[in-house]
Structures are given as C-alpha cells and as structure tokens.
Chain A
C-alpha cells in the first residue's frame, strides 16, 4: 500500500449532490450532469497512489479539478464519496481536533497567491505553523530563522508581506510550510503567479531542497513544462477525470489520448527524454562485444546532452547502465524518432 491512497473520489458541487453522484457513478459526464441536475462534478472517480518521498505532480487546465483534488488531501474540502488515507490512516473519519493535529504535524501547504498573513512580518509568518502547535517563542523563532535563511531571505525578518516582491513572498510561503518539518508538502500552483525567470529559480530551489529533504511533495500546476521538470510522476486531470498517470517520459512518449498528446506537442523533448527511454535495448545474448566505448552515455543522460555525443560519432552510441555495462544503443533513427512528435502515430 502506498503512503497516500486516494480511492474513487467523487466531489460534486451543487444543491443535490446525491442525485448527481448516482448519475456520475452510472457514467454520465460533467456536462450531462450539469444540464440535468444543476450540479457541477469537481472530481469524477479519481484514484491515485502517491509514494513516500516522491514529487507527484497533478497537471490540468483550469476547471480540471486539480485544486479541488489537493484540498482533499488535508480535508480543506471533503469528498462526496471515496476514501483518502495517509500511511494507512483514514483521514476522512477524523474528528476536528484529530484533523487539526494531523494538519499541524504532518502537512505543510503553499498557495498560489501565497496566503501570507498580511498583519504579520516575515518572521511571524514563517513561525505561524509552530505557533499554532503551541511551540514556545524562542524555539519557533529559531526554527523560523533557519528556514528564512535557507530560502535566502535573511535580513528580511521584520518586513511585512506587502513590502516584498512576489518571488520573495512565495519564498516566505515555502519557508512557512517547511518550518513545521511536515512529512508532506502540498503545493497548489505555488509558482504560477510568478514571472517566468523567478518561477524557474523557484523550481530549481525546490528541487535542490527536495534532494536533501526527501519530503513527499504533491504539486499542482497547469504548466506541463513545470510538471515535466520537477515531477517524479505526473497525473493528468481533465474535467475532473484522471486521464493518465506516469513518469514524465511515459507521458511524452506514450500520451494516453489526443488531449494529452496536444499538450505534449510543444514540450522540449531534449530536456525530458533520457537515454534509457529512447535507446534500442541490447539483446541479452549479444554480450558486450562490438560496442563503442569512446562514444557512450549513461542511461539517465538527457536527450539534449546525447545530441553532441551522437553528432561526434559515425556509428550508434552506447548506453550504459548502473554498473557501466552496455544496455542499449542510440543511432540516428532513435534520435529522429524521439524528436519527432508523431513517432507514435
């Protein structure tokens, strides 16, 4: 069983969720249910398993239900039907005090428009989670200082949110979420409101932090490039339904349907695809003979880094595995196939 289990979640918004739920379970789609009952289907039979320590991205356009989905994980929204559990613990059966204790200890959340407390300075915003837990002032300010320093805001402790730029405000949001040392970090379009360059910086920052902290991160975005960059796995939502779940390369190489394919068309494949996914595998019997050792790349090399090697070689280049043994080859055909959008049609 995975760390976070979401089982058959339905969420209906509207005056008469029960009727709409029956229709949804019977297979009616969002528009049909809205026309018949006046209820909006937010999530339609979504099941997900999220492993401990992974960065799991939920991608979808506005109205796809992604923000609704993430709010089920800390019960800011309760589902109409379905189950959510953390490490085997059913969070939907928790009463309010238990739920609050669960939120305090195990979850941190970062919001699209930051959600900072405008009447508190940076220090007191970052220390907020610990204050809610009842930690004494000295301890919580020490922890807050550490995280303020860590996100690069040392010296800004006494500033108020309205005195900071968007990027700096979101650093405060991130520090606030991390200050309680939660197991799970929920990030709701955390970087969507930022300028492209700042956004890219923050993505790098998050990946750097994650490399050390190994939190379980659930990250919501409408930007596929962002999803592919930071996600270990990606779930794609459309109209409240789960369309596809997979590693970034799986999404790009094997889109589940035309909708996903339309998304992946403009993706920079050079950054997403890695040697292992595009190589021609070695047949087990053929052994290590006849491989070029001068032109070899590791299995996890990105396509953009393979290109210069391949261009410098007349023959197919070698892909090596964990133990430096050849596991496959990449020739011109594999590279052209990988770069061509319609290779799978």
Chain B
C-alpha cells in the first residue's frame, strides 16, 4: 500500500483553480462562448435551411475544384445522397456545422502554433508533451471543466473537439516547416529576404502539402468526436448514436454510424485532393 502521507492533493488544486477561473473570468468565458455560439448557429441555420440539392451541388463543386476528377465527384455526391436516404440529412448538417467550426478553430489556432514551434526549439520541447497529453487524455476529463466554464451545449463540445483534433495540424505544420531544404532557406537568406518574406514566400508554401495533410487529419478527428460531443448536448449524428445506445436500438445506431462514416469519407477525399493539389504546384503544368 502506498503511504497516504505522500499523496499529492492534485485534484483539490485543480478544483480550486477551476473555481477561481469561474469566479474571476466567468463573464469573459461567457462572452467568448456567445460569439462562438453565434457563428455556429448561423452556420447551422445556413446548412439546415439550404435545400438538399444545393448542398449536393456545393459538395460537387468543391470536389471538382480540389480534384478535377468526375468519378470522385460522382462518388462523393452519391455518399452524401445516401446520408439523406438514411433519413439523417438534418442531423448530418448539424454535425457538419459543428465539424466545420471546430476544424476552422483548430486550424486558426494550430497553424500559428505550429509555425512558432518550428521557429523555437524551446517552445517545441514544451509543446510536444502538451500535444501528447491533449491527444491521450480521455476526453471526458476535460469535458468536466469545459462544462463548468461554458455549461451544457455546443460550445464545450466544440472546445473538447478542438483540444482533441488540433494536435495533428500543429505537429504537421511544425514538421512541414522543419523539412524545408536548409539550402533553399540559406539561398533566400543570402538574397536578403526578411523573416517575413522567408516565412510566407518559402517556408509556408513548401510546407503546404504537410499542413494540408494535418488539416485533413484534424477534420477526421473532429468528426470522430461527434459521439462524445453529443453526450454534453451537441446535437447531430452523435445524438442518434447515443439514442441507439440508450434504447438498445441497434438499427438506429448502425444508421447513424454509417452516416458518420460517409461524412468522414467525403471530407477525407476532399482534403486529400487538396493536399495532392498543393504538392503538384511544383510541376503544375503536367496537368494531372
């Protein structure tokens, strides 16, 4: 038996810290939550309000823009159509809105953090264990403080999703920038390029294929969070799975599961097509 005198009251400290946050910064968190919620609700209304065929056309247009491949366009449109035939169109649009907001937030936070990590070895040494923690810590653990700070609903769901899904885009931005050929960097320095000119003119364009791969992974991970997010009140496909569990309705759970997979496939293929396109810019005229 481990001696009780050596117990560290970490749990108590964390509780005190969260209480302190709620008491002192409660209003700030609320304001942040409100603005996030406004964006999410607007997007959700747009997606749910738009006619289903318009969404299909938009998916087709995006896929065509990314891949210039008719077969892929047809395949992804059929996949989206299949979600509709399962009777889950409206819930899929709710999930889609949640996913878009969570992914955008992850990218907006993740890319600059990745850039900073690539610039500073010290920051990288600090961030790597933090990222590991973000990815391995069971999501329920940080759902508790998120609930305390933001209440039940969509906002804590988004934040939990961002914590889980942001690490890939951070890691791959860092990696992509670090993989840029040092001689190319030396060349641009030797021509007197400033740090800003090097970052935007050389490092980011050359890291783009890796950053795109990171965004793709982040998207996939945020889709995979929808079931957990539904437990704290986010609506959508995850809610349907949760209902299937609660009512032991295997069929309903299966339908929702298939819809989640289809949604994931659609956005994975689109993300990959953009990733390939960013790699191709170095020999764009090959035309494939």
Which residues of A pack against B, CB within 8 Å? 74, 76, 96-97, 99-105, 107-109, 111-119, 128-129, 132-133, 158, 160-163, 180, 186
Contact = CB atoms under 8 A, between A and B. Distances in A.
Given A100-B194, A115-B183, A76 B188 contact: no
Interface of B: 181, 183-184, 186-194, 197, 202, 205-206, 281-285
8 contacts: A100-B192, A102-B192, A105-B192, A108-B191, A109-B191, A116-B187, A118-B181, A118-B184
A112 B184 CA distance: 11
Contacts of A111: 183, 186-187
Contacts of A117: 184, 187-188, 202
B281 A119 contact: yes
Contact of B191 (A96, A119, A132, A160): A132
B184 A103 contact: no
A145 B223 CA distance: 50
Contacts of A113: 181, 183
A107 B184 contact: no
Contacts of B184: 115-118
A96 B187 CA distance: 16
A115 B283 contact: no
A186 B205 CA distance: 27
Contact of B192 (A104, A119, A162): A104
B117 to A, nearest CB: 22
A76 B191 contact: no
A132 B193 contact: yes
Nearest to B194: A100
A87 B122 CA distance: 39
B189 A76 contact: yes
Nearest to A130: B191
A160 B282 contact: yes
B278 to A, nearest CB: 9
A186 B202 contact: no
A15 B191 CA distance: 29
B258 to A, nearest CB: 40
A162 B283 contact: yes
B191 A128 contact: yes
Given A116-B187, A118-B181, A132-B188, 9 more contacts: A74-B190, A100-B193, A100-B194, A103-B189, A103-B191, A105-B192, A109-B187, A117-B184, A158-B285
B192 A103 contact: yes
A104 B186 CA distance: 13
A115 B187 contact: yes
A103 B188 CA distance: 10
Nearest to B208: A119
A101 B192 contact: yes
B219 to A, nearest CB: 24
A104 B272 CA distance: 39
A107 B183 CA distance: 17
A163 B284 CA distance: 11
B194 A119 contact: no
Contact of A129 (B191, B281, B285): B191
A15 to B, nearest CB: 15
Contacts of B197: 132
B190 A118 contact: no
A107 B187 CA distance: 11
B285 to A, nearest CB: 7
A161 B181 CA distance: 14
Closest 10 CB pairs of A and B: A115-B187, A104-B192, A103-B192, A109-B190, A100-B192, A115-B183, A129-B191, A118-B282, A119-B205, A132-B193
A118 B202 CA distance: 9
